[in-house]
Structures are given as structure tokens and as C-alpha cells.
Structure 1
Amino acid sequence: GLAGAISAALLARERSGRGREVNISLFSMGLWMNASDLTIGLMTGRSPQSESRTERINPMWSSYRCADARWIYFVMIQSDRYWPDFCLALGKPDWQNDPRFKDSAARAQNCAALIYEIDRAIAARSCDDWAPIFDRHNLVWAPVRTDAEVLDDPQAEAIGAFAAVDHPNIPGCRVVNSPVEFGDADTIPHRAAPELGQHTEEVALEMGLTWDQIARLKASGTLG
């Protein structure tokens, strides 16, 4: 949020010649990140309530556990659009004729019963077994990755999510790369953070100190 505000202020200065003061707080950013729920409270006068998995208005926007104990997450906001393919993918074509699940309103009213049935269906196969089935039926889904899995995730590798760093003490060191790309701009190589006091002498020389002065400051303990 702050980076975007600064960029907007710089653009406004470029166009108008007038600078802007940018103010932001972590609290206001937290409110902004939860604006959807808070706005409901502001407009209705009722505090938003947290939902459990069995209370989801849309059971096709939730997480489910596979046979191998891995979790998957469905994100199909337009549930009526995806419902027929969803039923076929799970091998439950009869759900389409079940009056409890006929449309989004009925599914919301009977969400606990439907989520119970989806839980049972998903638990019958592993995540790897489900993946081609879901993709073949054009469902919107993704596996829920652990931190360890993300480190070796092929998609993370394909988008250059991790950058190599020439670290003096850690062979094969990698760090998380910036998600921002600027077209055909050259990639700037990452460097390891300096050791404590690594550049003290260089900075002192840039400030105009002589080697004799630096030596005396070191001897007195002023410089480490």
C-alpha cells in the first residue's frame, strides 16, 4: 500500500510540480485488508461472523482433505456455473438432481450436508490422483502447499520465485525473489548481506578519513 501511494505521489509531482506528503499506518492497512467484512458490518450494523468449514455459504469455495492427508482448495465463486462439471469430476452426477443441491441458494441452505458428502468423495483419492480429473473438468482449484513443498514447487521454479545468492558461508544459497517484473529490464543479481562491520573501512574512507585516523579509531574501540 505504501509503495503504491509513494509511486502515485511521485507521478503527481512529475505532472503538477507539487510534492505530496504520504501518511499510512499498519492499523489502517489492516482495516483495508479486511475491508469486505468490515464494510458488511458498516452497512448492516451487524458484526461479521467467522464461518467454519461446515457453514460456508458456497461449499465450492473451501478446503478439503485428500486420501494422502494433503489438502486442496476450491475457488469457484460462480457455483452454479461450475456445479455440473464439479459433480461429474467427483463422480457424483446424481447430485445435480438432488433438490438439496439444485442451485446456489439450496446448497447454501444445506451446506453442512453437502460439505459432508464432498469430504467423503475427496477423501477417496490422493491429491495427485485428483489433479488431472479436476483439470480435465476445468475446475478452479489448487493444492495447499506446505512451506517445504513450495521450496521445490515446479511453478515456483518456472516463475523464478527464488534467486541464487553468492553467499560466503552458505553453499547454494537462495532467497525469495521480488514478485515484480519490469518487462525486458535486466535482472539485478542478489548479493549476500554484509557481515557486521564488513564495510566500515570503506565507509570511513568515503567520509574522508585517512588510514591513520581509522587506525586510531579502531585502537580506541570507536570503530569495530
Structure 2
Amino acid sequence: MTGTSNAAKATGPLAGVKILDLTHVLLGPLGTMICGDFGADIIKVESAEGDTLRATGIMRNPGMGAAFLQANRNKRSIVIDLKKPEGAAILRELIKDADIFVHSMRAAAVRRLGFSYDDVKAINPRLIYCAAIGFGTKGPHADRPAYDDIIQGEAGVIGAELALTGAPRFASSLIADKTVGLTVAYALMAALYAREKSGKGQAIEIPMFETMVQFSMMEHLAGMVFEPSQGPVGHMRIRGRRAFATRDGHVCILAYTDRHWRALFPVFGHPEFVADPRYVNAVERQKRMGELYDMIEKNVAQMSTEDCLAVMTKADIPCGKVNRIEDLIEEPHAKAVGLFQDIDHPSEGRIRNVRPAVEFSDTPAQLRTPAPRLGEHTRDVLREAGYADADVESLIAAGVVKAG
């Protein structure tokens, strides 16, 4: 595996792996960010306009939006005009010693640029080639564009909310982008392991629609797991599920096992429910989950958040406080483990990142470098690829590449 000046500083399990990242927005960048946290050298290949996520959300300076700063740490940015023959030639040169090539373009677009799997495999047979796309190439939707909103609708995420509440709401997070981004990360690592055994690269296709249907239907397929169907679709536990209002906030309580419920009933003044056949096991409780949640809600409303959590904890019933986003910065556990890290960015000043959550005993993940400015590392990457300084400056002058 190829090392570079950036990767040489890495301590994570992917140190020495070189990834060419042609993705944008959040899905692909999250997947490669994880690989970067784990030590890989991520070369982010951008157009002159840059990743569209750069221009999204709150920012101090143009092109450095808050979400971009989160999803693109531990990466180096090079700007290449791939529509110019000289630009395509640069990318082919970078491919020669790369371990992974990942993009989020539709098949027709990447073929026009000359970087299909067959094109890339001819340059580097050991390369792992990953296409993170909207819909699988074998289906009728293959050429459709896709974003998080579209896939939440198509894959049943909004449909589950519609069935539950009657309102077609999006999840309050970019759940499709981030779930598929995680899939990109684990798929790349699995392919690296396979290559260690076979010595050969391979193509990976990661479609958003199929990935999110698999994700959503894990519990929601329900009665339709069976043929013929044995009941309705939809996860029964979500019906009536809610956070509970206390006198001064909200809490989450999840009595999950028979033991939990046996402990909970006396706490809320119903010891007789312990032996009641209507509540004796999960099958019977599911039939009456709405009334059980109503019972919890009525009792919790009379308690403070602190008292409620203390009572639940003493009874060993899973519980937690509902934190606002802004509360998490000072949340005691998050502070104790150093989850939020403040770092100095060369153009953005002091910024906050959430550190890699995974803890490796021998090969620790790192937050090594902040998200790059557009084209910040163009010169460095080209020099590493063997381009002389004069040639680099000529390419910049011709508009083939751009240096930030």
C-alpha cells in the first residue's frame, strides 16, 4: 500500500492506504472521512467550483461551510479539470499507485470522462473501484439522480412516518446519506481485506435506494417476512413510541424485557400488572403498547427530569435525558471522553470537530488535519506524482488544475 507525507503521520489501521475521492455532498465524503480518520491518505479530487457541500450552511468564509468542515477532515484537496485531456491524464497518473478510487457520478457521466471500472482497471489492476450511486445499474432507475430527500421517500423512510403519524415527514437527519456513507466505509475496508488475500482489486457498487431499503426493512418488513403474509408491515414498537415530558424537560424510557416491565409497574403504582396476563410477556404487551405508554406518560409528567432518571436508574430500567443539540457540547459523558475537539484551522480559525468515536488499542484513529481549502494541496499532490515545479505552474496557468 502506498504511503505519502500525509499518510506517514497516521497511526490508524488504514495508514498507508491511498484513496482518490471524487465524491461530493455528504454520502461519499462521510465514507472517505471515516477511512481518513482510520489513517488513509485521502486525496479529494474537486472541480474548480468545488464540492457543493462547501457552499452549504453556516460559514465564516466562502467555500468552507460547517458541514463541509465536519465531513472532509483528514483529506487533501486537488482541483483538476477532468474534461480537459491534460486533466484526465493527471488523474490517470494518480490512479497508478492508488489503492482505492471512489466516485458518486452516474454511470454515463463517468464513462464520458474515461474513468469507468474497465478504464481504471487497465491502469491499475489492484485498484478497488467504488461507485456510490442513487440506484443500482441493473434496474430501471439506474440513470436517475438521487439525494437524501429522494431516497428517504423512495426507500420507505417517509412512508414509515406517514403510517405512524399521518404526516409525510423526513427524518430530522440526513439519514440516507449517512447510512450509505457508512456502507461505503465498511465496503471499502472489506474489499481491502479481500485484496490482501487475492492480490486483485474489484468493482463495488453501492446504491442508495437498495441500501436504504435493506436498512429500513430490517424491522419494518414484519409480517411480510413470511409468505403468505402473517401480519402487517411496520415495526410494532414504534406505534405510540415517544419521549415523555417531565416537569422540566423530556426523557426516554425503554422497558424492553419482561424484567424491565416487572420493575417498572410497581414504580408507577401498578404492582398488580406484574402478574396480569395482559402484560405478562412481550406478545401480550405489544397488543396494548399504546395504553402502557400512556401510563408512563401520565406518571413521568409529575416528576422532574432528574428525579425520573434517578428512579429509573435505581430500578435498572434503560432511560436517558432528551438533550438539545446545543446541550451536547457540555454533556458530562461527552466532555469526560473528549468527544468534541477544538482545533485551529489555517483559514477558519478555531473550529470544533467531533473526534473519531471508535477506539483502537494499538492503531488509534486520529483527527490529523482540518478540512482543506479548495485546491490547497494541488501542488503537493502533483509533486508527489512526479511533476516538476515548472510543469505544475504551467498546468495552473493553463487552467488544467487550480491551487488554493
TM interval, shorter chain, is 0.7 to 0.9
Is residue 76 from structure 1 mapped to residue 261 from structure 2 by the alignment? no
SS in 2 for 1:23: strand
State the partner residue of 2:212. 30
Distance in 2 separating the partners of 1:160 and 1:112 = 39
Distance 1:144 1:216, change over 3 A: closer
Q: Which of the residues 243, 259, 281 maps onto 1:63?
A: 243
What's the TM-score once normalised by structure 2's chain length? 0.45
Match of 1:132 in 2: 310
1:111 match: 289
8 Å CA contact 2:222–2:234 kept in 1: the answer is no
Q: Distance in 1 between matches of 2:395 and 2:294?
A: 75
* 1:3-18 equivalences in 2 (<5 Å): 3-18=185-200
Residue 333 of structure 2: which of 155, 160, 164 is its match? 155
1:48 to 1:155, Cα distance in 2 relative to 1, 3 A: same
The aligned amino acid for 2:254 is V
- Where 1:30 maps in the other structure, the secondary structure is helix
Alignment of 1:91-110 (within 5 A): 91-96=269-274, 100-110=278-288
Hey, what does 1:175 align to over in structure 2?
353
Contact 2:345 2:351 in 1 (8 A): yes
The 1:14/1:106 distance shift into structure 2, 3 A limit, reads closer
- Separation in structure 1 between the aligned mates of residue 281 and residue 377 of structure 2, nearest angstrom: 66
Deviation at 1:203, TM superposition (A): 5.7
Contact 2:244 2:297 in 1 (8 A): yes
Aligned-pair Cα RMSD in Å: 3.4
Whether contact under 8 Å (1:164, 1:190) holds in the other structure is no
CA–CA distance in structure 2, aligned partners of residues 16 and 52 of structure 1: 44
- Cross-structure match for 2:103: none
What letter is aligned with 2:252?
A: Y
Change (3 A) 1:82 1:202: closer
CA deviation after TM superposition for structure 1 residue 26, in Å: 1.1
The whole-number CA distance in structure 2 between the counterparts of 1:19 and 1:167 is 36
* Cα distance in 1 for residues equivalent to 2:366 and 2:281: 52
Mapped partners of 1:217, 1:62: distance in 2: 56
How many equivalent pairs are there? 215
- Indicate conservation of the 8 Å contact 1:76/1:140, yes or no: yes
Contact kept in structure 2, 1:66 and 1:126, CA below 8 Å: yes
1:48 to 229, 233, 238: 233
C-alpha separation in 2, matches of 1:127 and 1:30: 35
More helix by share: 1
Partner of 1:145: 323
Check 1:81–1:205 CA distance in 2 against 1; reply closer, same or farther (3 A cut).
closer
Q: Aligned letter for 1:73?
A: C
Name whichever structure is richer in strand by fraction.
2
One-letter amino acid matched to 1:147: I
Deviation at 1:137, TM superposition (A): 0.9
The 8 Å contact of residues 340 and 354 in structure 2, kept in 1 or not, is answered as yes
Aligned to 2:106: none
Q: Secondary structure at the match of 1:113?
A: helix
Q: 1:221 to 1:19 in 2, by over 3 A?
A: closer
Distance 1:183 1:170, change over 3 A: same
Runs of 5+ consecutive residues of structure 1 not aligned to the other structure: none
> Against the structure 1 CA distance between its residues 26 and 136, is the aligned structure 2 distance closer, same or farther, given a 3 Å change threshold?
same
| Residue matched to 2:167 | none
With over 3 angstroms needed to count, the CA separation of the structure-2 counterparts of 1:9 and 1:64, relative to structure 1, is same
Q: Report the CA distance between 1:156 and its aligned residue.
A: 1.5
Structure 2: distance between partners of 1:151 and 1:160: 10
Q: Secondary structure at the match of 2:206?
A: coil
Q: Distance in 1 between matches of 2:242 and 2:281?
A: 17
Larger relative CO (CA 8 A, sep 6+): 1 or 2?
A: 2
TM-score by structure 1 length? Answer: 0.75
Choose the corresponding residue for 1:2, options 184, 203, 206.
Answer: 184
The 8 Å contact of residues 341 and 354 in structure 2, kept in 1 or not, is answered as yes
Identity of aligned residues (%): 25
Asked if the contact 2:268/2:299 (under 8 Å) is kept, the reply is yes
Q: What CA distance in whole angstroms lies between the structure 1 residues aligned with 2:375 and 2:285?
A: 63
